[in-house]
């Protein structure tokens, strides 16, 4: 059995990007470790959602632990940096935020976990963080360097299939003709979002784990409410949108096409 370490910027990123892959890996007997750079302190939250005295970072930490349990994660670690906010925001320049972290220092923190776990596979994001979020870009930079320091054999860049998502967002918006659906579609720059399909090396079918993925997403209730656009999709559209997760294996020969990150599933007893 292998050890998969999956590295993310904020709570809820793991469920959205890799939730099905994590659940499948755990179901097949692999060890799954989740590392999160920040506690998502600058996420948006509705007024009155938090308990008196509770911070958003506190709530998102607990949501991460709940989602990890749903997905079968064996270990959760936070690197200790603060959320940097969206690109161009003042929070990008705050001391202690992940975007301002020294790459080698942050990579050393992650490498220590990779070495401790003797990780076989590490997932990061693509080099533009899927959509340009500074913390997501930093996950790529720090993760790639950490794998070099730890000698981790395989690194996969979690991404989105730009071609497929363009099609699915149009279908979803048409099926849910609401301002919220239009806003969700409009938030994405589909000219730069994700990776063109021809460059993706690894396409993982996670339809068998969609119930866990949906529950993990819902566990992040401060950010993804049950009334959110994505969780209100009908079952068929949800399956079409979330039933596949995409990766680019670093260093893979041109033309590589594979359907899994880890070894083959164990034979039935």
Q: Tell me the percentage of the chain whose pLDDT exceeds 90.
A: 74
Q: Does some domain include residue 266?
A: no
Whether residue 184 lies inside any domain: the answer is yes
Q: Does residue 254 come out as left (phi exceeding 0), alpha (psi in the -120 to 50 range) or beta?
A: beta
- What's the confidence (pLDDT) of residue 258? 97
Q: With b meaning 16 or more CB within 10 Å and e meaning fewer, what string describes 229-242? A: bbebbeeebbebbb
Query: Residue 168 belongs to a domain with what CATH number?
Result: 3.40.50.10320
Taking the CB of residue 108, how many other CB atoms lie within 10 A of it?
Answer: 15
Summarize the confidence of residues 45-66 as an average pLDDT: 96
Q: Are strands 244-249 and 154-159 parallel, antiparallel or unpaired?
A: antiparallel
Mean pLDDT, rounded, for 71-91? 94
Q: Is the pLDDT of residue 146 over 80?
A: yes
Q: What mean pLDDT is reported for the chain? A: 91
In sequence order, what are the beta bridge partners of 97?
A: 82
Is the pLDDT reported for residue 182 higher than 90? no
Strand 202-205 relative to strand 244-249: parallel, antiparallel, unpaired? Answer: antiparallel
Three-state SS sequence of 58-127: HHHHHHHHHHHHHHCCCEEEEEEEECCCCCCCHHHHCCCEHHHCCHHHHHHHHHHHHHHHCCCEEEEECC
Q: Which pLDDT does position 165 carry in this prediction?
A: 76
Are the beta carbons of 25 and 262 closer than 8 angstroms? yes
Q: What is the DSSP string of 182-197?
A: HHHHHT--TTTSSB-G
The sheet carrying 31-38 orders its strands as 75-81, 31-38, 3-8, 121-125, 154-159, 244-249, 202-205
Please tell me the total count of domains within the chain: 1
User: What's the rounded Cα separation, in Å, for the pair 205 and 194?
Assistant: 18
- pLDDT tens profile 213-230: 999 999 999 999 988 888
What are the φ/ψ torsions at residue 14 (nearest 5 degrees)?
A: -65, -40
Confidence tier at 173 by pLDDT (50, 70, 90): low
Q: Is 91 part of a structural domain of the chain? A: yes
DSSP string covering 159-173, please?
E-BHHHHHHHHHHHH
Output the pLDDT for position 176: 53
Least confident of 52-61, 136-145, 186-195, 234-243: 186-195
d(Cα 231, Cα 228) in Å, to the nearest integer? 5
126 domain-assigned: yes
Instruction: With respect to residue 261, please indicate whether it lies within any of the assigned structural domains.
Output: no
Is 254 contained in some domain?
Answer: no
pLDDT of residue 234 exceeding 90, the answer is: no
Residue 267 lies in a domain: no
The answer on pLDDT for 39 being more than 60 is yes
**Quick check: is 255 in a domain?**
no
For residue 42, pLDDT over 80 is answered with yes
Domain that holds residue 159: 3-249
Q: Name the residue among 166, 243, 240, 245 with its Cα closest to residue 202.
A: 245
């Amino acid at each position: 059995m292998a050890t998969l370490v999956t590295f993310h910027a904020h709570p809820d990123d793991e469920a959205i990007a890799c939730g099905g892959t994590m659940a499948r890996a755990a179901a097949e007997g692999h060890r799954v470790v989740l590392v999160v750079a920040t506690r998502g302190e600058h996420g948006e939250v509705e007024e009155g959602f938090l308990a008196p005295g509770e911070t958003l970072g506190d709530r998102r930490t607990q949501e991460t632990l709940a989602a990890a349990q749903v997905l079968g994660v064996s270990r959760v670690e936070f690197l200790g940096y603060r959320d940097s906010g969206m690109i161009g925001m003042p929070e990008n320049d705050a001391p202690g935020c992940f975007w301002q972290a020294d790459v080698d220092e942050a990579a050393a923190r992650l490498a220590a976990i990779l070495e401790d776990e003797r990780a076989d596979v590490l997932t990061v994001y693509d080099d533009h963080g899927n959509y340009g979020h500074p913390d997501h870009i930093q996950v790529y930079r720090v993760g790639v360097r950490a794998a070099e320091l730890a000698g981790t054999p395989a690194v996969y860049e979690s991404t989105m299939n730009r071609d497929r998502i363009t099609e699915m967002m149009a279908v979803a918006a048409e099926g849910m003709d609401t301002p919220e659906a239009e806003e969700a579609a409009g938030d994405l720059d589909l000219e730069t979002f994700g990776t063109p399909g021809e460059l993706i090396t690894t396409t993982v079918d996670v339809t068998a784990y969609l119930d866990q993925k949906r529950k993990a997403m819902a566990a992040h209730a401060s950010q993804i409410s049950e009334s959110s656009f994505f969780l209100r999709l009908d079952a068929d559209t949800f399956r079409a949108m979330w039933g596949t997760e995409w990766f680019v294996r670093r260093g893979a020969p041109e033309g590589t096409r594979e359907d899994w990150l880890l070894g083959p599933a164990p034979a039935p007893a």
